[in-house]
Structures are given as structure tokens and as C-alpha cells.
Amino acid sequence: MKNLKVLLLVAILGVASAVQARPNNSDYNTVINAFIESKLHTDYKTMKTILSPEAVEKLPREKAVYKATASDLLRTMKVNNGIEQSCTAEHKVLAESDGMIMVQIDFNYDQHTISEFITLERNKGLEWKVTSINKFFKNVATADKVNS
């Protein structure tokens, strides 16, 4: 009986710690912040909790568009887990409704900016999930010369 109580306590503590590590997906601001933090710290575990399994990431490459699935993105993040990005991040909500949000996130490095336009959708369980990521690169030095 004592072993059963100990086993039950361990199971409860395990579930409690797993719940604490997971962002609250019922609030889209929490999901946006979790997305940013997971990118800054290459944290695939957090990304996995907020990314829809059907999500697609798109990156323009010359005259084509490279597409990566959610599993591709998570696999890459897992290989690079824990790598800290040397940038700052800022975001703004571009459009929002009760079921979908469009957000621009700028990751500002010394010489370039990566702008990610993400779409969050509320699923049937009323959780917000990232369903698409569109990524654009801007070389800061080149942009300054063009704008001068």
C-alpha cells in the first residue's frame, strides 16, 4: 500500500511539472511570447506545444519559395536545441479575430533582420496554435544604403 501511495505521488508530481512547463494556449499573447522565446533560445519543446502539426514555414529563396513542415521545423530545432540567438525581438499584432491572429515578429541582429509573419488559429479545443510562418530576411547595411 505504501508503494502504491509513493507511485501515485510521483505520477501526480510528474503531471504537475509537465503542465507547468506548457504555455497556456488559451491566451494568444502567451502563445506569441512562447513562440518568440522558443526562437530566441532554440527551444523545440516549447515550440512543439504551440505549433500546429499541420503548420508550414515558408522562406523565399531567389525566385522560389522553400517550404518546411512542422515536423521539419521541430527536427531542426531539436538538433540545435539550446542555441541562444544574439538578437532582440519585437512584435505587433497586424490583424485579429476570435479565431485567427496575424502577427509580425522582427528578430533584429546586428547586420540583418528576420521578419516572421505568423498566423495563429484557435482549434476545436479553443487553444491557439501557430499554423503558418512566413519568413523574410533584410540586410540592414543594404537597406540603409538604399534608403539614403
Q: How far apart are CA 91 and CA 79, in angstroms?
A: 26
126: left (phi over 0), alpha (psi -120 to 50) or beta: left
Residue carrying the nine cell digits 542555441: 83
**87: exposed, middle or buried (C-beta count within 10 Å: 0-12, 13-18, 19+)?**
middle
Distance (Å, rounded) from C-alpha 35 to C-alpha 40?
9
Provide the whole-model pTM: 0.79
pLDDT values of the chain reduced to their tens digit, one per residue, 148 residues: 555 444 444 444 444 444 445 677 888 999 999 999 999 999 999 999 999 999 999 999 989 999 999 999 999 999 999 999 999 999 999 999 999 999 999 999 999 999 999 999 999 999 999 999 999 999 976 655 545 4
Which pLDDT does position 28 carry in this prediction?
Answer: 94
